[in-house]
Amino acid sequence: MAPLTAQKLAQTRILDVDALARNEVDLRTYPHRNLALMVQPGLMGSGVTRLLEGVEYLGQFGWELVNVTDNSRNPFLYAFLRRR
Give residue-wise pLDDT tens across range 1-40.
Answer: 567 888 899 999 999 999 999 999 989 999 999 999 999 8
Interatomic CA distance for residues 15 and 13, integer angstroms: 7
- Please give the model's pTM, rounded to 2 decimal places: 0.87
Q: How far apart are CA 19 and CA 37, in angstroms?
A: 10
56: left (phi over 0), alpha (psi -120 to 50) or beta: alpha
Q: What residue spans define the domains of the chain?
A: 6-67
Amino acid (1-letter code) at residue 26: D
H and E: helices and strands count for the chain:
3, 4
In 10 A of CB 2, how many CB atoms?
6
